[in-house]
Each structure stands twice: as C-alpha cells, then as structure tokens.
Chains A and B, each alone.
Chain A
Amino acid sequence: MAAVKETIEDVKKLEADKYKYGFTTDVEQEFSPKGLDEETVRYISAKKGEPAWMTEWRLKALERFFQMKEPDWAKVKYPPIDFQDIYYYAEPKSGAKYDSIDDVPEEILADFEKLGIPLKEQEVLLGVKGSENRVAVDAVFDSVSVVTTFKAELAKAGVIFCSISEALRDHPELVRKYLGSVVPASDNYFATLNTAVFSDGSFVYVPPGVRCPMELSTYFRMNAEGTGQFERTLIIADKGAYVSYLEGCTAPMRDENQLHAAVVELVALDDAEIKYSTVQNWWPGDENGKGGVYNFVTKRGDCRGKNSKISWTQVETGSAITWKYPSCVLKGENSRGEFYSIAVTNGHQQADTGTKMIHLGKGSTSRIISKGISAGRSDQTYRGLVSIHAKAEGARNFTQCDSLLIGDQCGAHTVPYIECKTPKAVLEHEATTTRLSEDQLFYARQRGLDEEAATALLVNGFVREVLQELPMEFAVEAQNLLKVSLEGSVG
C-alpha cells in the first residue's frame, strides 16, 4: 500500500501549486559573454578543454548557422528571437563537475531534492524500493552536468554513462565516431545552433550483448536567468545491447522566454534496442502567455543494424512553444521504430510536434500513436512523416493520431505526410478529432466524481495506450502531470 499512499501524497503536492518547479535556486554562477559569435564558441570549447577537432566542428556549424534562415513552416507564432541577447553558457562557480557527491554545493543538491531527484546513491538504495527500480541519474544544471550517479556499478557491466564533456575526455574515439552521425552539423536551424554552442548532456555506450542493469536518466534543470540550454545527448547501443533511458526537464517561472535547443542522437546497431522516454515539463508561461520556454529540439534515432529497435515515448506538458519531432531512420533490415506521444497544451501554449519514420531497410516496421489534448487558448499540431523508400520491401507502418479538444477556444491540427515508393509496403493512417463525450462525463460525475476528476479520468483513458509504454515511475508522474496541466480547463 505504500505506493498508493505515495501516489496520493504526490498528487497532493502537485495540487498545492500548479507548477511546482517554478522556484529558482541561488547559486553563484559563471557566465559566458552574452551573445553569439566565434568568441562565445571558443569560450565554451575552452571551458570544456575540448580537442581541436571539436572546436573546429563547432566553428563550422556557427558559420553555417549564420547563413541559415529560421524555419517558418511550423504552426507556431512567436516574436523573433534575439540570439545576441542570450547567455550560451552558465556554470556553478565552484567548478563544473564534482568528483564526489560530497563536493556538490548544498544549494544544487537541495534544488534537485526539491525536484524529487535523489542524487545520493545511498539514499536511492535506502529508498526501500526493490533493486530493479534503481535509476542512475545524470543531473544537468544549466550548462553543466553536476553529478552522475551509479557510475561505478554501471562500469562493472561495461556501460559508460557520463556527461558528454567527460566522454570527450575519456572516450574521444567513440564520441568522434558517432557524434553528428545521426544529426549532422547542418541538419536544421536549431540543430546547427546546438552544434555550435552545446554545453553538456549525457553520453551512454552499452557494449555488445549487455542489457543495461538499470534505467538511465538525465534530469535537465534550467536555473540561471537569460540563459539558453543547449544540451546534446548521444546514446549508442552496440550489437545486441539494451538500454532504457529517461529524461526529465523543468525550469523556473520567469517573465522572459528561455530558449532550449537540444539535440539527441541515438544509434542502435544489430539486434540492439533503445527505449527513450521523456517527460517534458518546462515552464509553460503564465495564464496570460507571458514567459515560458521555447522548446526547439531535434531528436533522431538511427536503427543502423538489422533487427534493431528504437522506441520514443514522450509526455509533453510544458513549454510555451514546442517544436519537436523525434524520428527514426530505419536503415537496418527488419528494424523497428516506435513513437508514443501524449501532448497536452493549455493556456497559451503552442505545440507543433510529431515524428518521422524513414523506412530504408527491408522489412522495417513502425508504429505511431499520438494523442493530443488541447485546452484553454492553446494550439496543437501533430506533424508526422512516414517515408518508405524503394528498397524498403515489406515495410509496414501504422499511424494513429487522435486529438481531443477541451473548450472552444483551442485548436487541434493534424498534418501527416506519407511518401511511398514501393508496392511491397503497407501504410495505414487513422486520425480523429473529438471532444470529451458528454455522456461519459455525466456517467463519471453521477458516480460521485467532480468535474475535474471526471475529466482527468476520461483523459487518462484517452491516453492509456501511450501511458502503458512508460516505465513505471514515469507513468505515475505523467498521470499527475496530465491532471495538473488540465486544471482549470473545465467549467
């Protein structure tokens, strides 16, 4: 019953404040010079003590970025971003990475504790839960990774889990081989920006045949004012390896708009599987649409090997503006891509999100389940591409995207792109848009639930196919998030 009690308490905590992560933590921080130029890039690169080829790569990307045009095809509106008015790097003054948890400044530990992210391994171990529920955490505070837990134990299994700056130092050959091989430097506007100025993020390498002994997770926290967060994540599952990775994000409440432009690259070799789950809860802005995070993210997985599998699961409730399309390039024979998404928009949020499944390999299969819920004055678009190339004989795709509208001031849009170049493929796409059924609401209320509880229950039913895909710990958090995000949207 402990779990039940815990859940109830969690919910109570959530109800106390709609966005409980809105606090800021006072940490003495050091910033890069404001603005974007070669000097900023060199500053970041020098800070990280990077090899010359990295600096070169970054500078090339910067040059390319200045030639590129900001994309305007997404169905989102925002004032132009002043890229010269952003700090591209912020780190706690006492140094970036701490050798031991004991060196991490109390303020930062307290910050993560407030967020409910335990960084002390013994605490996690004492956390009663069975050993299979342990999660190794890489904690990223603004631009730097402050601590990574369970490293020693993971190393025993041969798994490398560290920040990308450490990986550059300790495993440069792996980083050089894979970094930018899925999302090239000039891939798109925001990915190019990220390549030039990315600060930190996680690096995972799971060796052949190893099933990663625990869930890996990164927790991103934006704290400093006027900064952007540009993290880069690279995960490689070698032949026959398996890894499940979770990502969580929060930011303080501020009047300004903060930019988050991340890049995530996944590589799955023969028979490998990567499961990537995100619960994104960046500050969405206040009820008048002031402030909030611009979440412009490029996430792509490369199923390079035969029988490889990459699965994206995302719960998107935060951010003022979301622009995000986790994709799978299905190169390997019989490779498989999956995308499960719940996106909730409320208030003045705008989200343009979806996925791309590029079928290149024979017998590659993909499945897309997207559930969008719009409430308040928000606008949400599902934009997805399924592309079957001529050689992808026997490819299969199934897409289902459903939208739910709550209230009459919001919008829900579906823009699926389907391209097919072989007769030996089967593609199916279904989409519906409806509102909450009055009958169902009435039934739930007649059983004694108030309107908000009834709505939450029905919404949970609407998204259950996706919730089932989340790791246990995340599923509970996600359900609560849904409840909170939709508060005030009824009646």
Chain B
Amino acid sequence: MTTAALTHTPAEQALIEALQGATGWRAQLREATREQGLPTKRNELWKWSDLRRAANDVSAAGELVVDGLDAAFLRPDDGARLNLTLTAKPGASAADAEVTVPAGHAVTLVEHYRAEAGALGNWHLKITLETGARLDRVCIAADAPDGVFVSSAEIVLAPGAVLNQRTLDFGAKLSRIETHITHPGEGADVDLGGVYLLDAKHHADTTTVVHHTGPGGQTRQLVKGAAASHGHGVFQGKFIVDRAAQQTDARMTHRALMLDDRAEIDAKPELEIYADDVQCAHGNALGAIDETALFYMRQRGLPAPKARALLIESFLAEPLDGIADESLRETLKGELRNRLEALS
C-alpha cells in the first residue's frame, strides 16, 4: 500500500527525535512511527485504543527511566528475582531490554509501570526461555493516572519451558500491556492471567497473542476486569494454532463487570486455527454486579459500599490466585483491595 507523505503529529515527531541513532527494537519503533505514525483506531490492532489521540499532549522528547536493570542483556541466575521500575517522564520516550532465562532455571520478573502527565512511554522486552526454564512475570500498571504507557513483550519458549504471567492494570490516560508468545508445544506450558480495574476516564488495554507452533501445547488464560465512571477496558486475545500444533489445548476466558452506565468494555477473543486435532475454546461474558448477592450481604449487616467492594474483589482476585510467590500474591491483592476502597 502506498500512502501519501504523512504529516506527523507533535508526539510522533518527538518520538522520532527521541529515537535518533537508536538501534534494535527502538530503531524499528522509530521507522514504524516515521512510516505509519502512531496507531489509531483505524488500525485493526488498536481499534479501541487510539494511541495517536491519547498522546495529543506530548510534544517533546522525554525519558523512560529504567530502575533495577544492570544491563540491557540479562541472563539471571537460578532463583533470581528482578524488580524493575519503568518511569516515563513527560515527553515521548522508549526503552528496551533482553532477558534470557537459562535452561532449567526459575526466575521471577516484576515490572512496575509509571507514567507522569504528558508522558508517552514505550517499553519493550524480548524474553527467551530455554529448555525447561520457568519465568514468573508480574506487570503492574498502578501509577500512571495521566500518562500514556505501552508495554510490549515478545516471549519465546523452548520445549518444556513454563511461563506464568500476571498483569494488574489500574489504567492510565492510555495503558496497554501487550504480550506476544511463541509456544512450541512439546511440554511447554503458558498460563496467563490479567486484572484491570478502572475509573475516572482511565483506559487499560490487555492484548495477547499466543502462537502455537508445535504439538501438544497447553495455554490457559483468564482475564477479569471492572470499569466505572468513564473507565474504558479493552481485551484482545488471540490464539494461533499452526498445522503442526496438533493436540493443542488452549482456553481463553475474559469476564468483566460494568460498574455504572458511563463505563465501556470492548473485547475481541480471537481464535485462528489450522490444526484439526485440537481443543480450543474461548468464553467472554460482560455484565453488572449480581444484585441478589449484594442484597444478601447488606441484609447480613454489611454497608452497601463495603458489600459492593467485597463482591468486586472476589470477582477480580481470581487471576491473581495463580501467582506462585505468596508475598507477591498478597501484595497485589492488597493493592487491588486498596484501590477498590478508594473507588467506593
């Protein structure tokens, strides 16, 4: 397709400028931005998350501060726990890193995303799991109320590798956590969980693509969300099952609560299947809080806001139960509880 010369928005110019002389993924981002601009809702993959529009207050190059990372290429030791904090300062910025989990090692990776007002932060991770490796990845976007933060990861598993990923997103002006996974089957196992809780015009987008390339792979995905007062939740999940990926067992579920009549939730759970001997299913359900349960709890003496918060918490916390590390699990559940209390 040939397009006429694109007029770049200030945010696009700023991002291109910020990435002058960059290499690798950041160079790709620069060229993509130069050629196509920032994605808009006309782009099928960004249909419900208009990045160009969200970044309308960005006009200068900024900085994405990465804390907790010693090198751009990492090969962590067995049992290591990496705590990263990514802070997007006002303006357009991007950073990336590569992590390889060596064969047979188990590693925990925690990423905190923060964006200040007027920031457009782009973070990219390339992760390789060698044979039999295990990665527990937790991404938390809890501190970016007025900024724009896009996290994307490309994760490649070797046979026998295990990936357990959990995301917790309280939204931003636009927050997107995008994960692309190459799943070789053959004993490899992928377990994805996600939670979003949104209010006050916050936007959270959970996008995942799991590509099954070899036989006998397993993937489970459970994403739950809730949105109130102009909160906008987006879930896009896609399973691709190649012809060679026979006996794949892949299940995707997205469930969400609409907390009031100003919220919006959009979902696209997609299956693309080329192998015949597979079990693939996806489910998607949207609805409101169960009024009978609420009534029951109030009748037992709980005040309405408390009852509501409890119901939402029990609904949302389910994906977090899958976090292996107990202290991490409790921390995330605590954050969710605090947020719910602030909401009600």
A-to-B contact residues, CB < 8 Å: 73, 390, 393, 403, 405-435
- Measured between alpha carbons, how far is A407 from B260 in the docked complex, in Å? 47
Chain A, residue nearest B275 (CB):
A408
Q: Does B174 contact A (CB under 8 A)?
A: no
Given the contacts A424-B261, A433-B271, A410 and B285 also touching, CB distance less than 8 Å: no
Given the contacts A408-B243, A433-B281, A418 and B286 also touching, CB distance less than 8 Å: yes
Q: Which residues of A contact B265 (CB under 8 A)?
A: 418-420
Apart from A431-B281, A435-B277, 16 more pairs, CB < 8 Å: A405-B275, A407-B276, A408-B243, A408-B246, A410-B276, A416-B270, A418-B265, A419-B266, A423-B263, A426-B287, A426-B288, A427-B287, A428-B284, A431-B269, A431-B283, A434-B280
User: Quick one: which of B23-71 are within 8 Å of A by CB?
Assistant: 44, 48
Q: Does B273 contact A (CB under 8 A)?
A: yes
Q: Does B267 contact A (CB under 8 A)?
A: yes
B286 and A434 form a contact (CB under 8 A):
no
Q: Does B157 contact A (CB under 8 A)?
A: no
- Measured between alpha carbons, how far is A393 from B263 in the docked complex, in Å? 13
Chain B, residue nearest A413 (CB):
B272
* Complex partner residue of A433 from B266, B267, B278, CB under 8 angstroms: B278
Q: Which residues of B contact A414 (CB under 8 A)?
A: 269-271, 282
Interface size on B, residues (CB 8 A): 37
Q: Does B274 contact A (CB under 8 A)?
A: yes
A431 and B288 form a contact (CB under 8 A):
no
B284 and A416 form a contact (CB under 8 A):
yes
Given the contacts A413-B272, A420-B264, A429 and B280 also touching, CB distance less than 8 Å: no
A417 and B268 form a contact (CB under 8 A):
yes
B286 and A420 form a contact (CB under 8 A):
yes
Given the contacts A425-B286, A426-B286, A413 and B266 also touching, CB distance less than 8 Å: no
Offer 9 A-B interface pairs, CB within 8 angstroms, sorted by A.
A405-B273, A408-B275, A409-B243, A410-B274, A415-B268, A419-B48, A421-B263, A422-B261, A431-B282
Chain A, residue nearest B272 (CB):
A413
B284 and A433 form a contact (CB under 8 A):
no
Q: Does B11 contact A (CB under 8 A)?
A: no
Q: Does B190 contact A (CB under 8 A)?
A: no
Given the contacts A429-B284, A432-B281, A413 and B276 also touching, CB distance less than 8 Å: no
- Measured between alpha carbons, how far is A90 from B271 in the docked complex, in Å? 42
Chain B, residue nearest A404 (CB):
B276
Q: Mark B286-326 against chain A: 1 for CB-CB distance below 8 A, else 0.
A: 11110000000000000000000000000000000000000
Closest 3 CB pairs of A and B: A423-B258, A405-B276, A429-B284
Q: Does B279 contact A (CB under 8 A)?
A: yes
* Complex partner residue of A423 from B48, B270, B277, B288, CB under 8 angstroms: B288
Q: Which residues of B contact A432 (CB under 8 A)?
A: 280-281
Chain B, residue nearest A421 (CB):
B264
Chain B, residue nearest A72 (CB):
B1
A408 and B270 form a contact (CB under 8 A):
no
In this complex, the member of A410, A425, A427 whose beta carbon has the largest number of chain B beta carbons within 10 angstroms is A427
- Measured between alpha carbons, how far is A277 from B10 in the docked complex, in Å? 52
- Measured between alpha carbons, how far is A428 from B274 in the docked complex, in Å? 25
Q: Which residues of B contact A431 (CB under 8 A)?
A: 269, 271, 281-283
Q: Does B259 contact A (CB under 8 A)?
A: yes
Given the contacts A416-B284, A423-B288, A411 and B263 also touching, CB distance less than 8 Å: no
Given the contacts A73-B44, A419-B266, A420-B264, A425 and B280 also touching, CB distance less than 8 Å: no
Given the contacts A413-B270, A416-B269, A390 and B261 also touching, CB distance less than 8 Å: yes
Given the contacts A405-B276, A434-B279, A428 and B285 also touching, CB distance less than 8 Å: yes
* Complex partner residue of A411 from B257, B272, B281, B288, CB under 8 angstroms: B272
B258 and A422 form a contact (CB under 8 A):
yes
Q: Which residues of B contact A426 (CB under 8 A)?
A: 285-288
Q: Which residues of B contact A393 (CB under 8 A)?
A: 261
A419 and B287 form a contact (CB under 8 A):
no
* Complex partner residue of A429 from B44, B48, B243, B285, CB under 8 angstroms: B285
Q: Which residues of B contact A427 (CB under 8 A)?
A: 284-287
In this complex, the member of A407, A412, A424 whose beta carbon has the largest number of chain B beta carbons within 10 angstroms is A412
Nearest Cβ in chain A — how far from B285, in angstroms?
Answer: 5
B273 and A433 form a contact (CB under 8 A):
yes
- Measured between alpha carbons, how far is A410 from B138 in the docked complex, in Å? 37
Q: Which residues of B contact A415 (CB under 8 A)?
A: 268, 270
Given the contacts A423-B263, A423-B288, A434-B279, A413 and B268 also touching, CB distance less than 8 Å: no
B270 and A420 form a contact (CB under 8 A):
no
A420 and B266 form a contact (CB under 8 A):
yes
Nearest Cβ in chain B — how far from A358, in angstroms?
Answer: 14
In this complex, the member of A422, A427, A433 whose beta carbon has the largest number of chain B beta carbons within 10 angstroms is A433
- Measured between alpha carbons, how far is A423 from B267 in the docked complex, in Å? 15
B276 and A406 form a contact (CB under 8 A):
yes
Q: Which residues of A contact B285 (CB under 8 A)?
A: 426-429
A429 and B268 form a contact (CB under 8 A):
no
In this complex, the member of B44, B243, B268, B276 whose beta carbon has the largest number of chain A beta carbons within 10 angstroms is B276
Chain A, residue nearest B240 (CB):
A413
Nearest Cβ in chain B — how far from A381, in angstroms?
Answer: 8
Nearest Cβ in chain B — how far from A60, in angstroms?
Answer: 25
Given the contacts A417-B266, A417-B268, A408 and B276 also touching, CB distance less than 8 Å: yes
Nearest Cβ in chain A — how far from B66, in angstroms?
Answer: 36
A413 and B258 form a contact (CB under 8 A):
no
- Measured between alpha carbons, how far is A16 from B301 in the docked complex, in Å? 75
Q: Which residues of A contact B268 (CB under 8 A)?
A: 415-418
* Complex partner residue of B264 from A407, A410, A419, A424, CB under 8 angstroms: A419
Nearest Cβ in chain A — how far from B201, in angstroms?
Answer: 14
Q: Which residues of A contact B269 (CB under 8 A)?
A: 414, 416, 429, 431
Chain B, residue nearest A411 (CB):
B274
Q: Which residues of B contact A418 (CB under 8 A)?
A: 265-268, 284, 286
A425 and B287 form a contact (CB under 8 A):
yes
Q: Which residues of A contact B274 (CB under 8 A)?
A: 410-411
Q: Which residues of A contact B246 (CB under 8 A)?
A: 408
Given the contacts A420-B265, A421-B264, A434-B279, A403 and B273 also touching, CB distance less than 8 Å: yes
Nearest Cβ in chain A — how far from B142, in angstroms?
Answer: 24
- Measured between alpha carbons, how far is A184 from B266 in the docked complex, in Å? 26
Q: Which residues of A contact B283 (CB under 8 A)?
A: 428-431
- Measured between alpha carbons, how far is A417 from B254 in the docked complex, in Å? 12
Chain A, residue nearest B238 (CB):
A415
Nearest Cβ in chain B — how far from A182, in angstroms?
Answer: 24
Q: Mark B238-256 against chain A: 1 for CB-CB distance below 8 A, else 0.
A: 0000010010000000000
B271 and A425 form a contact (CB under 8 A):
no
Nearest Cβ in chain A — how far from B34, in angstroms?
Answer: 22
- Measured between alpha carbons, how far is A428 from B255 in the docked complex, in Å? 9
Q: Which residues of A contact B263 (CB under 8 A)?
A: 421, 423
A413 and B284 form a contact (CB under 8 A):
no
Nearest Cβ in chain A — how far from B344, in angstroms?
Answer: 15
- Measured between alpha carbons, how far is A408 from B215 in the docked complex, in Å? 13
